[in-house]
Structure 1
C-alpha cells in the first residue's frame, strides 16, 4: 500500500520540504521557501544538551503547526500515545489515502547510516508494504524503505530536543482559508516577534538574545571536554544538516523574495537577509576550523567566532525590528 497520487521531492530542510510535498499533494502551489516562511520557521536556540554538550539550532519548534494555523488549514496532531495505538492511527490514515507527518530520531533510520542521535527529524509516511514503511525524506531523491520496528524506535526516542512521543500530524481538510498576503504578513510579524522576544520558546532560549548568549559563551568552550565536537556540530547545524545554508537564513530570505511584491517590501529587505546568511556561513567556517585546531589556535578561533556571532546578532536585531515595524 503506497499513496499512488503522492510525488516525492527532496529539499533543503526536513520540515519545510515535508510541507512542500504536502503542498504538492494537496495542490496548494507553495514552494519550500514559502512553506518555511509561512510557518515562521526562523529562530535560534542555544542548548546545553544534545549530541554535543553545547548545541545551536537555527529554526524554532513551531514551523509545522504554525504553517497550518497561519493558512487556516484544518489539521490533526497527536503525541503521547502508546506505540500500538499511534501506529494503528497512522495505518488508518494511510488506508484513507492521507500522507502522515512523523517526527523521529534519524539515528534509527537505517538509510542514514549515522551514529548520531538527532531529532526531531520530520518526514512523511506514505505507504506500508509487509513489514516495511515507505518514507518521503527530504534528504533523499527517492522514497526510502524502513522496517516498521525501526520506525517505531525512531518515533518514540528520548533523544533530541525533548522526547518525540510518537508524534504525528495529518491534514484533515486541505482547504486554505487565509489569503497568501494576509498569511505572509502574519507569519513575518510572528517571526520578528519571536526573534526579538526575550521569552523562552518550546525549545528554550530562542531568538536574538540566544545568539548573544551563544556568542558570549564561545570563548568558554575551551573548558569543555568535547570542545572540538561542539564546534564541529555547530558548523554542521549552520551550514549542513538540512538548514538550506546560513543557519536557515538563506531559506527565509528566499521566502521574503517571494512575498516582497505582494507585501510591498523593498528589495533591500531580502537582500540584507541574504547578506546575513552569508555572515552565518562565514561563522560556520570559523567554527569548522576551530573543530580541527588545538590549544591557542583553537582558543583564538573561538574568540573570532564570538565576535562574528555578536555582529550577526546586531544585524538581525536591526533587520527584524524594521520588519516588525513594517
Structure 2
C-alpha cells in the first residue's frame, strides 16, 4: 500500500516541512514558512534534561496541532496506544489514502546513521509494503524505507524531549474555510502569548523569560560535566537540526514577510525578525567555539554567549510586544 498521489519534498524543519507536504497533498497552497507561522511554531524553551544536561529549543511543542487548530481543520490524534492498535490505525489510514504524521526518535531510523537519541522527529508515513514502512522525511531528498520493527522502536522511544508513546495525527477533513488573514492574526497573537506570557508547557523556562534564564545560566556552564556537549547541542539546536537557521527565526521572518502587507504590518517588523535570526546565528557560532575548547577560553566564550543571549531577549521582547500591540 502506498499513497497514490503523494509527492515528497525535503524542507528546513521536520514539523513545518511535513505540514507543507500535507499542504501539497491536500492542495492548501502553503509553503513551509507559512505552515510554520500559521502553526504558531516559534517559541523558546530551556530545561535541564534530555540528550545533554541543559537543553534549549527555538520552537514550541504545539506547532503541528496548532496549525490544524488555526485553520479549524478536523484532525484525528492519538498517543498512548499499544503497538498493535497504533500500527493497525496507520495501515488503515494508508489504505484510505491518508498520510499519517508520526513522532519518532531518529536514533532508530536506519537511514540517519546517528548514535544520538533525538525526538520527537516528525515525518509522514506514506506507505506500507510487506514488512517495510515508507517514510517522507524532510531531511532527505527521497522517500525512505525501514523495517516496521525499527519503526516500532523509534515510535515508542523514551528518549529525547519526552516519551513518544506511538503518537500520530491524520487529517480527517482537509477543507479550510477560515479566512487566511484572520488565521494569520490569530496565529501571531498565539505566538506573542507564548513568547511574552507563556503558561504551562513542557519547559522549565519558556519564552522571553526562558531566554533570559538561559543567558543568566551560561557563565555557570563551565561547572557542568558535559559543558562542551551542552554548548555543542545548543549550537546545533539554533543553527542545525532542522531549524531553518537562527533558532527558527528565519522561518518566522519569512512568514511575516509574506503576510505583512495583508496584515497592515510595517515592513520594519519582518526586517527586525530577520535581524534577530542573524543574532541567534552569531550566538550559535560562539557556542560552537565554546564546545571546541576548555578552561579559561571556554569560560570567556560562555560569558560572551550570555551577553549575546541577553541582547536577543531584549530584542525579542520589543518585537513581540509590538506585534501584540499592532494586532
Residue 205 of structure 1: CA displacement? 2.2
Report the Cα offset of residue 59 of structure 1: 0.2
> In the alignment, what sits opposite 1:208?
208
Secondary structure of the equivalent of 1:44?
A: strand
**Can you list the C-alpha shifts for 1:150-192, whole angstroms capped at 9, x where unaligned?**
0010000001211100000000000002111000000000000
Aligned residue number for residue 140 of structure 1: 140
Displacement after TM superposition at 1:200 (Å): 3.4
Measured after TM superposition, the shift of residue 123 of structure 1 is 0.1
In structure 2, the residue corresponding to 1:28 is in which secondary structure? coil
Structure 2 Cα separation of the partners of residues 166 and 199 of structure 1:
26
Distance 1:258 1:89, change over 3 A: same
Q: How many residues align?
A: 326
Following TM superposition, where does structure 1 have runs of at least 4 consecutive aligned residues deviating by more than 6 angstroms?
none
Following the alignment from structure 1 to structure 2, what is the Cα–Cα distance between the partners of residues 92 and 222?
51
Partner in structure 2 of residue 242 of structure 1? 242
Match of 1:34 in 2: 34
How much does 1:198 deviate? Answer: 4.7
2:321 is matched with 321
**Correspondence for 1:112:** 112
2:183 aligns with 183
TM-score by length of 2: 0.99
User: Which residues in structure 2 correspond to 1:193-272 (within 5 Å)?
Assistant: 193-272=193-272
Please list the CA deviations of residues 206-245 of structure 1 after superposition, one character each: whole Å capped at 9, or x if unmatched.
Answer: 2010001101000111011000000000000000000000
Distance 2:192 2:56 in 1: 19
Shift of 1:4: 1.9
Q: Which runs of 5+ in 2 are unaligned?
A: none
Q: Which residue of 1 aligns with 2:163?
A: 163
2: CA distance between counterparts of 1:306 and 1:199?
25
Deviation sequence 1:72-93 (CA, Å, 0-9, x none): 1110000000010000011000
Whole-angstrom distance in 1 between the partners of 2:220 and 2:186: 38
Decide whether the 8 Å contact of 1:60 with 1:203 is kept in 2: no
Quick one: distance in 2 between partners of 1:200 and 1:88? 33
Deviation at 1:204, TM superposition (A): 4.1
The structural deviation recorded for 1:203 is 3.8
Q: Give the Cα separation in 1 of the matches to 2:98 and 2:202.
A: 28
1:44 Cα offset (Å): 0.4
Secondary structure, in 3 states, of the residue corresponding to 1:4?
A: coil
Q: Which TM-score applies when normalising by structure 1?
A: 0.99
Please show how residues 272-311 of structure 1 align to structure 2 within 5 Å. Answer: 272-311=272-311
